Structure 1
Amino acid sequence: MATAQRMVVIGGNAAGMSAASQARRLKRPGELEIVALERGGYASYSACGIPYWIGGDVAAAGDLIARTPEQHRERDIDLRLHTEVTELDPDGCRVRVRDGGGTGQWLGYDHLVIATGARPLRPDLPGIDAPGVHGVQTMDDGRSLLEALERTGTASTRRRAVVVGAGYIGVEMAEALIRRGHRVTVLDRAQEPMTTLDPDMGRLVREAMCRMGIETVTGTAVTAVRTGADGRVRAVATEDAEYEADLVVLGLGVRPETGLARDAGLPLGESGGLLTDLAMRVRGRENVWAGGDCVEVLDLVSGLDRHIALGTHANKHGQVIGTNIGGGYATFPGVVGTAVSKVCDLEIARTGLLESQARSAGLRFVTATIESTSRAGYYPGAAPMRVKMLAEHRTGRLLGVQIVGREGAGKRVDVAAVALSASMTVEQMTFLDLGYAPPFSPLWDPVLVAARKATAAVRRAGTH
């Protein structure tokens, strides 16, 4: 009887456990032994849901867990929590493992899956590691922050929180902290929040945050975290001001967690993410695979490799990896950069390229921006939204869409994501057969109105 091969997975969340689960569906335990190593205390959870847990929309940590460690083990996946990989040896097909007791040993593999995720940016500033400064990336981070919020008081005391960074996590955490009764200040070095939008669209987010009572200070760089006599955070300093804080949340974005891969000589891209082929196999390594927030992926619009940290991609990467290790065949073709978020009742969405990204890719383009509503204007509850569209000069190929508005705005971006994946022109989009009824849309859907305006802009540009 042939000896079972061993699949070792580093990282117990979306990409890693998706790969392990898919491989187990295709291979029995006697054919494939699966060992998953997770340095934290949780696995298979929704990291995207952590801000909503903090804000109280999600009642308990367990609600974010898709599958418990016991459920994985019942399916013959040897999931080991509080177990850290400290070294990779791709040539020797082994990894060095340290368990919670500090014991270290080498573990061999036939297939290695690197799903180490991403780490929050933590700038090298005085006081940045002081008690009271929190990242929000893992379930352990979320629990630590919730405990801190309970210590700093309730709505009756109106304690102060400072969020450093105004990206997705920053604005989501600002809302969560407001709902927890804290006075919130958001600091960001960019001129407008949400640099995943063009500045003219980001301005709408800033205006909405200010109306919600979130003090939003842009165009300013944090220089230090001030601490009190007890060593805990008391304020955040910028170049020209100081903001009192009982706690600080870092929302500066993430970088691929690829230190182990770099030390092992595996290929990394410009962002530091691992480079893979379409099968999610690390380039140049036949039996090493990688997926999730630690990799770079092909941007189908620009043709460049990009680092985009999203759970949707991570789960798909895991499915592809698990299928290939399990004896099947699958590829991951790339992404168009779709993301959606919210701050209170404001929905924020984008797909494709921003103006700056299109320029960096060497593309010439035109833009069109329109104001519309989520429903027919006469129907109760119609809410305003703004749609911005980028189209390639002369060809009219859709390059990107951004949407900011109230209820019913965000998920409209999916139409644009499909159009981008199909390489449609904005003129072709104007004839899309979208659903219409007054409770759901104006007669001309806002995305189609933007496509009509972009088509006219392409034609005007072609005459000059």
Structure 2
Amino acid sequence: MSMSDGTDTDGGGRRERLVVIGGDAAGMSAASQARRLRGPDELEIVAFERGHFSSYSACGIPYWVSGDVEERDELIARTPEEHRARGIDLRMRTEVTEIDVAGRRVRARDAGSGAESWTSYDKLVVATGARPVRPELPGIDAPGVYGVQTLDDGEELLGGLARTRGRRAVVVGAGYIGVEMAEALIKRGYEVTVVNRGAEPMATLDPDMGRLVREAMTGLGVTMVGGTEVTGVLTGADGRARAVATGDAEYPADVVVLGIGVRPETSLARAAGLPLGDHGGLLTDRAMRVRGHEDIWAGGDCVEVLDLVSGQQRHVPLGTHANKQGQVIGTNAGGGYATFPGVVGTAVSKVCDLEIARTGLRERDARRVGLRFETVTIESTSRAGYYPGASPMTVKMLAERRTGRLLGVQIVGREGAAKRVDIAAVALTAGLTVEQMTALDLGYAPPFSPVWDPVLVAARKAAAAVDRAR
């Protein structure tokens, strides 16, 4: 690889060069959108990806591990060859090691040869993603301990499962990745223990809703250990993980999976002097342009975003946001105009047949930003009570005490529970009050919901609580 000067080889005028760091959702969405707007004669696009795969669904990895998704390639939306056929110079297994902002260039190293070279840019996209939290504990890097963030990680884990004789697994952490990996390992026939620092799983929920998740996981045969700090991974004579240690116990393990969460991968950005927020993510404007840098954009898991409910910056690493932000970046880098207004914090997950959803603020979020609120919790069913297959559902709702504005919703239930959170996500984005929500014209038929949808039952109860508080 050598650095070219960005000059047209056919004698035409100088082409602009867009350099993209990161070949997954945000980066390649940006590159693809920019290419749609400007052809190869006008804009050269060079993208760097340090891994083996491009444009894949990291969210699908637990379902690949579980066997629900049979083939790895089903998770790949677009291969490097497909990107190259569309006029994007995608360089795989090539890691950017330095951003020279003043010189408008990046240094990259080829993983195969070790060769390093500089590539100049007119416009730069930073889409370096996030890295799994891997605490500095004894034995944390031992064979048999796996993180789950990339397709490479998924391949390594599946290979490890195939070579492992024992059937005991310990998952460290009980967030989205933790509970999804617990399900995947249960489906593979493992005895699963989940060790979590919090008293309840799913810290994205309030503890009372997290308790419902714990009870359901216990019912599935998962051993839940809450309120416990992991002190290390114990190894056997062969150097492989054999147990996870806490302050007062050991949990035997043939496989250890880390599901502690992720942090923005912004070491390159930090070294280059680009602005970072309190959560360690890059700070951008609404056009996803890095603050203070006219020709540098950033998107995906490496950025912080505006929470439209609290008005504060958050790190919300989700593929939905990464793809949208990539579209915005590509539009702007390609000469158009687009903005990413922010998020309300919507997320859904499942563990076996239990569906888990949240959007907006938890109680502690609302307290942290100084909001006074009312909270209600209701029990309902997914369908009309008399219709076959109706299953229980718990909905928790927060509303601002003075205005009645919806602040957040959490839902735990079986079939049909999780996607109901989209009603609340739209209401939050629109700034509706809980009173206004009670009049929403939602679809109804006995196979789909009771006459009063569970979300609207919660809104009625919240509206009454707000009225009493006034």
Q: How do residues 89-168 of structure 1 correspond to structure 2 at under 5 angstroms?
A: 89-100=100-111, 101-153=113-165, 159-168=167-176
1:427 to 414, 435, 457: 435
Look up the SS of the partner of 1:91 in the other structure.
coil
Q: Does 1:36 align with 2:47?
A: yes
Letter in 1 for 2:307: D
Letter in 2 for 1:84: E
1:381 to 378, 386, 389: 389
| Structure 2 counterpart of 1:273 | 281
Over residues 325-348 of structure 1, what are the superposed CA-to-partner deviations in whole Å (9 max), with x where a residue is unaligned? Answer: 111100000000000000000000
Superposition deviation, residue 394 in structure 1: 1.4
Look up the SS of the partner of 2:448 in the other structure.
coil
Superposition deviation, residue 404 in structure 1: 0.1
Q: Does 1:251 align with 2:259?
A: yes
2:403 to 382, 395, 410: 395
Superposition deviation, residue 379 in structure 1: 0.1
| Structure 2 counterpart of 1:66 | 77
The CA distance in 2 between the partners of 1:35 and 1:394, in whole Å, is 52
1:86 to 97, 103, 110: 97
Letter in 2 for 1:78: D
Over residues 6-57 of structure 1, what are the superposed CA-to-partner deviations in whole Å (9 max), with x where a residue is unaligned? Answer: 1110000000000000000000001000011000000100000000000000
| Structure 2 counterpart of 1:372 | 380
The CA distance in 2 between the partners of 1:240 and 1:367, in whole Å, is 37
Over residues 161-209 of structure 1, what are the superposed CA-to-partner deviations in whole Å (9 max), with x where a residue is unaligned? Answer: 0000000000000000011111000000101000000000000000000
The CA distance in 1 between the partners of 2:210 and 2:63, in whole Å, is 22
Superposition deviation, residue 152 in structure 1: 1.3
Q: How do residues 431-442 of structure 1 correspond to structure 2 at under 5 angstroms?
A: 431-442=439-450
| Structure 2 counterpart of 1:410 | 418
| Structure 2 counterpart of 1:215 | 223
Q: Does 1:194 align with 2:202?
A: yes
Look up the SS of the partner of 1:402 in the other structure.
strand
| Structure 2 counterpart of 1:51 | 62
On the 8 A contact 1:394/1:459 being kept in 2, the answer is no
Superposition deviation, residue 110 in structure 1: 0.5
Q: How do residues 19-34 of structure 1 correspond to structure 2 at under 5 angstroms?
A: 19-34=30-45
The CA distance in 2 between the partners of 1:165 and 1:360, in whole Å, is 24
Letter in 2 for 1:399: L
Look up the SS of the partner of 1:95 in the other structure.
strand
Q: Does 1:314 align with 2:322?
A: yes
Superposition deviation, residue 91 in structure 1: 1.2
Q: How do residues 275-294 of structure 1 correspond to structure 2 at under 5 angstroms?
A: 275-294=283-302
Superposition deviation, residue 2 in structure 1: 2.0
Unaligned residue ranges in structure 2 (runs of 5+): 1-11
Over residues 198-256 of structure 1, what are the superposed CA-to-partner deviations in whole Å (9 max), with x where a residue is unaligned? Answer: 00000000000000000010000000100011111000000111000001000000000
The CA distance in 2 between the partners of 1:263 and 1:461, in whole Å, is 51
On the 8 A contact 1:372/1:385 being kept in 2, the answer is yes
The CA distance in 2 between the partners of 1:68 and 1:88, in whole Å, is 26
The CA distance in 1 between the partners of 2:45 and 2:212, in whole Å, is 48
| Structure 2 counterpart of 1:330 | 338
On the 8 A contact 1:178/1:184 being kept in 2, the answer is yes
On the 8 A contact 1:165/1:251 being kept in 2, the answer is yes
Give the superposed CA RMSD: 0.6
Superposition deviation, residue 58 in structure 1: 0.4
On the 8 A contact 1:185/1:217 being kept in 2, the answer is yes
Superposition deviation, residue 357 in structure 1: 0.6
Letter in 1 for 2:340: F
Sequence identity percentage: 76
On the 8 A contact 1:14/1:314 being kept in 2, the answer is yes
2:363 to 355, 364, 370: 355
Look up the SS of the partner of 1:266 in the other structure.
coil
Look up the SS of the partner of 1:341 in the other structure.
strand
| Structure 1 counterpart of 2:22 | 11
Letter in 2 for 1:237: A
Superposition deviation, residue 460 in structure 1: 1.1
On the 8 A contact 1:437/1:443 being kept in 2, the answer is yes
Superposition deviation, residue 308 in structure 1: 0.1
The CA distance in 1 between the partners of 2:335 and 2:272, in whole Å, is 27
Unaligned residue ranges in structure 1 (runs of 5+): none
Superposition deviation, residue 121 in structure 1: 0.2
1:449 to 448, 452, 457: 457
Q: How do residues 297-308 of structure 1 correspond to structure 2 at under 5 angstroms?
A: 297-308=305-316
The CA distance in 1 between the partners of 2:426 and 2:346, in whole Å, is 10
Letter in 2 for 1:252: I
Look up the SS of the partner of 1:403 in the other structure.
strand
1:182 to 171, 177, 190: 190
The CA distance in 2 between the partners of 1:408 and 1:273, in whole Å, is 34
Which aligned runs of 4 or more in structure 1 are off by greater than 2 angstroms? none
Look up the SS of the partner of 2:380 in the other structure.
strand
Letter in 2 for 1:293: D
Letter in 1 for 2:114: G
The CA distance in 2 between the partners of 1:43 and 1:75, in whole Å, is 14
Superposition deviation, residue 461 in structure 1: 1.1
Superposition deviation, residue 387 in structure 1: 0.1
Letter in 2 for 1:225: V
Letter in 1 for 2:344: V
The CA distance in 2 between the partners of 1:426 and 1:259, in whole Å, is 43
